[in-house]
Structure 1
């Protein structure tokens, strides 16, 4: 949509250079600038976007938006470049969320799984061609699927995808909404019809500085939402959120929960539980997902679906028939013929690792044998280092065999990261194999019938970020390749 000069001035709250008559696109990526578009120079964490103004101008930018004047470029100076990027992105896309029912899912753990469960429910009710999904793992527009770059893309990507969904006939969208997305204004201007909170545990302290700020950032999604709001009453911060934001309903095992979980049990390759509902009585839900935390993920998705008018019979069927979630306790089929299980999971914090390893132990217990739990894991670089020894302690407590390897090291030395993880691990059951493929190979070589191998940290991701540069790496694919070689 073309934005005229006068409207630009109103949106940005500043004067527009006389040479600019209108813009019809906006981006923060100088490589993606097109003729007649606006380039927003964001002061990044490591590089100032102003550095890329010459490239943006060479690619045809008609307007530069920055937090300071850029000599030689037609510049609109704004107090916050990210706010300007979001406001202009919404306008260029034509406010797509006004014509969509957008469900926001936030929290530390469980966002992606809950998003997939809710998407499956909505697809069953309204048709896959009318549902959309934006998550850490992928973007789904009807029947089209593509890999996602990050949990919540920058504002032009968010609004552009919403507009693409609207144009394709999508009516209901599940938007996994990270704290980065809220804090950095990536979802600013999006109209949310409903919101759900999963839980809050230590993560992203490098961005927020404290758990309190982390919580308050998450809470903003609920303050923006006029429609149904669901929060996990079994989580300390979830219970607080329900108290803080009027109209918030709860789900959980506590007796006071509006949607109460009970009688959860493993049945075959999945889980069955009862969900007490305010309007539809007790529903028996069967899901192929395993683990108490996934019971909460399914219960939350079911509750928000019911609160927005979902037929309970459709809900029950959709939950039972949903597929695996990419990189979330994802079983690798190639291991089945070997008699052991290999599971890939995104767990990258001590809390997340504990949850997935506990589920793996439950799988072993259900087999009633002498199988062992083997875990391959690592910690990310350039992130909160305090969780590294905590991850080591969790793995040593729950796994029989642990292999510390490299996750996304970014600019840090992988050996230094591993040393910090080992500070909390038991050296008697833990080894360090820095090369991730070699670590996976070592774990598979040890596995025998009845064992469960968990490869944690990367999940669905297809790129590993190393000090020497990015490399293609997808855990499930590597596991499959190594099994074929053995």
Structure 2
């Protein structure tokens, strides 16, 4: 609903210049300003919000919100531009999370898979139309699916999507909550009913600087959440989290885990395991996913569902019927007729790549394991040689290629990855499509090809600009050709 001057002042906590009319919208993108809207001049990593104030005024902005006065513009000066953006977005949307049950999932690896698992469980229990999902891969509102822009969108997007879900009759929302989303105040104003922590490994140190700061950022989700909180106690950071946040429960294979995993075994293309629970005894869960890390992803989501009151029989049925998760050990059907497997996965760190390749090695059995991978630009460069070492260790043949280079030189990134690899089983093919084609040409019946790094994403960010690229589509096209 539109916000009058008194409401805007209350929400921002500062003096607001006279407004000609109530504020009808808020944005940080000067191109998206509407007449009568507020423009929050956010200072980004490479730009100053003040530089876009003239464009916002031309588009009809009635109020500028910034950390310093804007010359010749009606400005509300605030301590934090991002906090202000979230506060206005939440107020304009009518605090939608207060009318929803929001489940937050955070961690380095497994967030998206755990989010899809929990969404599948909730859909089975409450119906598809009553559930929503916001992840790295996509946004789901009931039966409507759309591609996501980033793991956790800006505050305006988060609150608008929550409001859209509320208005569509959704009751339960799974919100993949990244450290960027927390650190940059994108989820401020969101009321979480439950929270899940998967693990913490080296990533995003370009933003956080240290692992300690990275952890403390993730921990804030548990600090915000009054309801059930589960953390993976097989992970040292998760164990620390359970010890530090009152009311948190652990899941994992550890003897002291409240939700304890045991008896894991592979049956065809499924995994079966036992889950000891605090209130429902031992459950046998069969999931259409492979790998120890996926057992943990399901166990955590299952624990949250049970803590929120779901009947165990509903849970058991729901996890058995789950679909593939886009870009997470996603098997490409077009490869089956060739007698080998092609798996697309989002793994983009040395830890994530190791987990995926270990599972792929099991699937390959007596066949060879071929890996196409790369490292992103404008990110923590220290992980690049580590990724090279992991691929050389676990794959029979590895091809280093271009991921999202952003503004960096793809050759320089590849050289840094190759520095940690074994030259005896590694080659560099910078063009991603050509690299995938080389891997497919090398594959024989019984082999497994892993294409890692991009997963579900449909755009490749290069120094020359963005180009459409979707690994599953490219693999399918190459196999059909």
Superposed pair shares fold, TM > 0.5 = yes
> Per-residue deviation at 1:30?
1.1
Using the alignment, how far apart are the partners of 2:104 and 2:231 within structure 1?
A: 12
- Give the TM-score, by structure 2 length: 0.99
- What residue in structure 2 maps to residue 108 of structure 1? 108
Separation in structure 2 between the aligned mates of residue 306 and residue 19 of structure 1, nearest angstrom:
49
Residue 145 of structure 1 corresponds to: 145
8 A Cα contact 2:229 2:247, kept in partner: yes
SS, match of residue 18 in structure 2? coil
Residue 250 of structure 2 is matched in structure 1 by 250
Structure 2 equivalent of residue 444 of structure 1: 440
Secondary structure in 2 aligned to 1:23? coil
The residue number in structure 1 matching 2:372 is 376
Partners of 2:207 and 2:66 lie apart in 1 by 22
Larger deviation, residues 397-406 vs 66-75? 66-75
State TM-score, norm by structure 1. 0.98
- What is the Cα deviation at residue 88 of structure 1? 0.6
CA RMSD of aligned residues (A): 0.6
Partners of 1:33 and 1:264 lie apart in 2 by 53
Q: Corresponding residue for 1:33?
A: 33
1:31 CA displacement: 1.3
Shift of 1:19: 3.8
Aligned residue in 2 for 1:279: 279
For 2:331 and 2:97, locate their aligned partners in 1 and report how far apart those are by CA, in whole Å: 35
For 2:479 and 2:47, locate their aligned partners in 1 and report how far apart those are by CA, in whole Å. Answer: 42
Provide the rounded CA distance (Å) in 2 between the counterparts of 1:304 and 1:448.
Answer: 42
Aligned pairs (5 A) from 1:67-86: 67-86=67-86
Structure 2 unaligned regions, length at least 5: none
Match of 1:174 in 2: 174
Match of 2:391?
Answer: 395
What whole-Å deviation, never above 9, does each CA across 1:7-43 have from its counterpart, x for those lacking one? 1111111111124442021111111111111110100
- CA deviation digits over 1:177-227, x for unaligned, max 9? 000000000000100000000000000000000000000000000000000
Say which SS state the counterpart of residue 8 (structure 1) adopts.
helix
Runs of 5+ unmatched residues, structure 1: none
Write out per-residue CA displacement over residues 340-398 of structure 1, whole angstroms, 9 at most, x where no aligned residue: 00000000000000000000011123xxx3x1000000000011000000000000000
Deviation of 1:162 after TM superposition, in Å, equals: 0.1
Task: Name the residue aligned to 1:188.
Answer: 188
Match of 1:360 in 2: 360
- Contact 1:20–1:63 (CA<8 Å) still a contact in 2? no
Which digits, 9 at most, give the CA deviation of each residue in 1:126-174, with x for residues without a partner? 0000000000000000000000000000000000000000000000000
Alignment map for 1:232-243 (pairs within 5 Å): 232-243=232-243
Distance 1:260 1:363 in 2: 26
Q: How does 1:318-337 map to 2 (within 5 A)?
A: 318-337=318-337
Q: Does the 8 Å CA contact 2:5/2:19 hold for their aligned counterparts?
A: no
Paired residues of 1:5 and 1:20 also in contact (CA < 8 A): no
Equivalent in 428, 432, 451 of residue 428 of structure 2: 432
- 1:195-234 aligned at under 5 Å gives the runs 195-234=195-234
Secondary structure of the residue aligned to 2:285 is strand
CA distance, structure 2, for counterparts of residue 303 and residue 337 of structure 1:
38
Equivalences for 1:406-417 in 2 at 5 Å? 406-417=402-413
Deviates more, 1:70-79 or 1:190-199: 70-79
Query: Is the 1:152–1:186 Cα contact (8 Å) retained in structure 2?
Result: yes
Aligned match of 1:343: 343
1:50-90 residue CA offsets vs partner (Å, 9 max, x unmatched): 21112211212111101111112111111110000001110
* Number of aligned residue pairs: 481
Counterpart in 1 of 2:416? Answer: 420
Whether the 8 Å CA contact 2:31–2:55 is kept in 1: the answer is: yes
Counterpart check, 1:482 vs 2:463: no
Moved over 4 A (4+): none
